[in-house]
Each structure stands twice: as structure tokens, then as C-alpha cells.
Amino acid sequence: MTTLTEQADAARADLPPGKIVVVMPAYNAGKTLERTYGAIPAGWVDDVILVDDKSPDDTIEVARTLPLQVIWHPHNVGYGGNQKTCYLWALQHDADVVVMLHPDGQYEPTLIPKLVAPILRGEADLVLGSRLAHGPRAALKGKMPLWKLIANRCLTVVENGILGTHMTEMHSGYRAYSRELLVNVPFLRNSLDFSFDSEMLMQASHMGYRLAEVPTRTIYFDDASSVALKPSIVYGCKTLLVGARLMLHRSGILRSRKFEP
């Protein structure tokens, strides 16, 4: 009888080769990090890096007990700034596919094979784990607040209209990128806050990179991080502003370096 690790190795062997790196942008993840790391499928990931954004809890101490790479920021730079460090490290260590996995346990590490497979097969450049792929009822069952669901859907509809895409969710923090995308999309010019994710999506789509998504469960619980109402409103406004900037860039009225390789 084959072990689960042997089965995982065999499944990955059926895909084209490529180095897979998981990056974990962390802030106050001490209570959930070990459990999240332990759920990463064996045989699918070559490196795991955690970047701690000056957490006041014991995230660093917990991370150093695990077999992963640890980088710490001497001061807090924000969610977008954390991702910049993550992607730079992954690129400089020869990653072919980079998976962003939040260490707070809100996303399923077991989904990593489905996220990376379309990229390794050359079918996509950016793959999102969509919590709304199975409809709003599934998201609500996973305890997504109703107001977040409504805001998520409204923003996604607007962004689909701007980009000409048909995604079910554009506000998932669970995503995988190809090396080519990260090398050519100027993510270092992006925001330091949560609007970084929206900028990445719009940049990638505008520059012709292929977007795809796979269904993932919605998981909300007490120890998971969650953006409060006021920061969420700011995020929504900034997302709409990014969309407006993209339309102005396309029209030639106001060019932006964010949308130029």
C-alpha cells in the first residue's frame, strides 16, 4: 500500500516540472501558524517562507520551531509591503510558481495542488481560490459576514466589467502566481496596504496574463484575522480608484507606471 506522501509525489510527477514556493505574509499568526503549516500537502512544495510584519505576538517564536524560512520586518510595513518581501525572496530563490497562503487558517492548504496545476501546465498565470464559486449560500455557511459577501460581489461585478473577465471572486487572499507574471508585473510600485491585491489582479489582466480560479471553502473562526468595517470601506474605495486609474491609463488621459511592465 502506498503512503499519502508517495501518492502526492506521484500526482505531482504527472505535471510539468517547476519549483513551487509557498509564501506566508504573517501578522499575529502565532495561534494558527503551526496548524496551517502542518496542513500543507507533503510532496507538493519545495520551499515555504514566512515574512513577519512586526507582529506583537509570538509569531516569530512559533515560526522558528518549524522547517521553513523566516524573515522579519523591523517595523510594520502593511499587508502589501509584506507581500513585496515575500515575492522578492521567492523570485530570488528561483521559484517557478508562488503560492500566497495566509497563516491564519482561513484558506485550505490542501488546495495547493489545484492552484499550481494550471500554472505548471501553462494554462494560467494567476489562479485564485474562490470562496464564491459555489454561490453565496456556501460562503454564508462558512460564516462569511453578509455585509462582506455583498461588498465582495459588488466589487467583483465592477472589476469584471472593467477587465472583461468572468471571475466569481476577485477578493480572495488565496492565490498562485507564475514566475513570468511576478517578474513582469511591477508589483513594487503597488500600495503597501490591502489594495495591493486588487492592483495585482488589474495589472495582470491588463498586461494579458491569464486568470483562473478554483473553488475553496469559506472559513471564518475566532483566531482568524478579519478586516473590520472601516478598513474594508477604505479598501473598497481604493479598489474602485484602481479601476478608475486603469481606465484613465487605457484611454491615454492619465498614464500610470503601475500598468506598464
State yes or no: pLDDT of 4 exceeds 80: no
Q: What is the pLDDT of residue 13?
A: 84
The CB density around residue 200, as the number of other CB atoms within 10 Å, is 24
176-230 pLDDT, tens digit per residue, is 999 999 999 999 999 999 999 999 999 999 999 999 999 999 888 665 556 788 8
- Cα gap 118→199, rounded to integer Å: 22
Q: What is the pLDDT of residue 220?
A: 80
DSSP 64: T
Question: What's the pTM value of the predicted model, to 2 decimals?
Answer: 0.93
The CB density around residue 56, as the number of other CB atoms within 10 Å, is 9
Mean pLDDT score across all residues of the chain: 94
91-132 pLDDT, tens digit per residue, is 999 999 999 999 999 999 999 999 999 999 999 999 999 999
Measured in Å, how far apart are the chain's first and last C-alpha atoms? 50
Residue 50 phi/psi, 5-degree rounding, is -115, 130
121-146 pLDDT, tens digit per residue, is 999 999 999 999 999 999 999 889 99
- Cα gap 103→51, rounded to integer Å: 10
Write down all domains in the chain, each with its CATH number in brackets: 4-259 (3.90.550.10)
Q: What is the pLDDT of residue 229?
A: 83
Question: Are residues 42 and 12 in contact, defined by beta-carbon separation less than 8 angstroms?
Answer: no
Q: Which residues of 229-255 are buried (b: 16+ CB within 10 A; e: fewer)?
A: eeebeebbebbbebbebbeebeeeeee
